[in-house]
Homo-oligomer: A and B are copies of this chain.
Amino acid sequence: MHKGRLEAFTDGVFAIIITIMVLELRAPVGADFSALRPLLPVFLSYVLSFVYVAIYWNNHHHMFQVTPHISGGILWANLHLLFWLSLFPFVTDWAGKNHFATWPTVLYGCILFMASVAYWILQNVIIKHHGEGSLLKKAVGRDAKGKMSMVVYGIAIASAFIHVVIAQALYCAIALLWLMPDRRIERVQAPSHAKPN
Contact = CB atoms under 8 A, between A and B. Distances in A.
B16 A12 contact: yes
A54 B72 CA distance: 12
Nearest to A104: B31
Contacts of A17: 19
Interface of A: 1-2, 5-9, 11-20, 22-28, 31-33, 35-36, 47, 50, 54, 57-58, 61, 65, 72-73, 75-76, 79, 82-83, 86-87, 89-90, 93-94, 97-98, 101-104, 107, 179, 181-182, 186
Contact of A19 (B2, B6, B58, B86): B86
Nearest to A87: B22
Contacts of A5: 7, 11, 61
Contact of A75 (B9, B11, B16, B58): B58
